[in-house]
Amino acid sequence: MQYFRSVELIDPYTIEVLLDINSIWAAGWVAGSLVIPEHIWEPIVAESTVLNPVVQGTTPDPNIIGSGPFRWVSGLGSGVGSDITVTMAANTPGSVVRGIKSPGYYLYYPVYTQVVQTSPVNTYGEPNYAVPGSNGYVNVTWNVILRNLFVWGFLTGTLTVTVLEFSPWPPGPVITAYSSGPIAENLSTASPYPMGSSATYSMTVNCTKKELYVVIVTFHIEDPLGWFIDNTGLFFPNPWISDTIVWVHYTWVTLLVDIGGTDMYTVMNDTGTLNGGVGIGSIPSYLKLDAPAPDLTVNIKDISIAAKAFGTIPGQPGWSSIADVNHDYKIDIRDISLIAKQFGF
């Protein structure tokens, strides 16, 4: 939600969400925010009391486990409109709340990994662009964040960071592979990683213009074999032993006016990072249109995208956020001119 600029109701069937950032991931951020009409939830909340808990959240069924990341522990309140304190617990595998043992959050992993491009930082915060300088090069720095989310003890493993350099689109074979190698020993301050701890590893690569760099982070869990729970003598085996957690980040070394030409699904397919079992042929064309991606060149495709959206503002048919290259919330000759000046890049 930190990137949301505004949310406005256009008509009974249209909600406009403006973001403060231009990103290929924007569709996921918006689609992942559930919207429930007020006329649906308002009467349910209004009718709910402690004695008549129409809203399940006021007095939840203690036997409900669910598959979400949190579980209800307790909640206090005297009715709608009063202050209500709700206590939640992490829905970790084997955790016991109110006497009920949980299999855990279905997406839970004890280690969280993330890649953040820290340099260069672009004018409008585009997290996947690195604009080359006049010499055709740019130093790109990625921070790899490793965080232990486990609640029972420690985990150890091997972290590997690999940066793959691909040629201009469509990508050919990998030109260069930069690899950190196993670096668990370099994170000794967080090894074994105590609960809640985090470690950051930085990698900088001197990137040439018109390249795609794919950062692949893997963390291979190696130890321990399990844990004794709360001094009860119960031994919980480590279900993630020998598992590998993977995070992928994409950085295009290109100009900010390189707004299209391909789509994110094709990028993932061509670089071998599309989710296992998902074939590019099974991705509907409308989804590809909703996930445009740079193609490492500025040509008629980019001008065409802006031309099709010419004269529009957010909320109007034909509006394209990526075509608003100067970020003034309207597509006009200024946007097309900025793209045309870099034609042939």
Tokens of 198: 């985090």
Residue with tokens 């597509």: 331
Distance between CA atoms of residues 240 and 221, nearest Å: 7
Question: For residue range 21-62, what is the model confidence (pLDDT) as tens digits?
Answer: 667 677 777 766 666 666 666 666 666 555 555 554 444 444
User: Contact, 205 vs 163, CB < 8 A?
Assistant: yes
Confidence of residue 12 (pLDDT cuts 50, 70, 90): low
Of the candidates 33, 91, 4, 99, the residue with the CA atom closest to the CA atom of residue 61:
99
Alpha helices in 170-326 (DSSP H): 264-270, 285-289, 300-308
Question: For residue range 149-173, what is the model confidence (pLDDT) as tens digits?
Answer: 665 566 777 888 888 888 766 655 5
CATH 1.10.1330.10 placement within the chain: 298-341
The residues facing 176 across adjacent strands are 165
Confidence of residue 190 (pLDDT cuts 50, 70, 90): very low
Lowest mean pLDDT among 78-82, 274-278, 327-331: 78-82
Of the candidates 198, 182, 178, the residue with the CA atom closest to the CA atom of residue 190:
198
Work out the number of other CB atoms within 10 angstroms of the CB of residue 181. 10
Which element (helix H / strand E) includes 119?
A: strand 111-119
Q: Which residue has the higher pLDDT, 11 or 116?
A: 116
Q: What is the mean pLDDT of residues 176-197?
A: 50
CATH top class, domain 111-270 = mainly beta
Fold of the CATH domain 298-341: Type 1 dockerin domain (1.10.1330)
- The verdict on pTM exceeding 0.75 is no
Question: For residue range 247-268, what is the model confidence (pLDDT) as tens digits?
Answer: 888 999 999 999 988 888 888 8
CATH 2.60.40.10 placement within the chain: 111-270
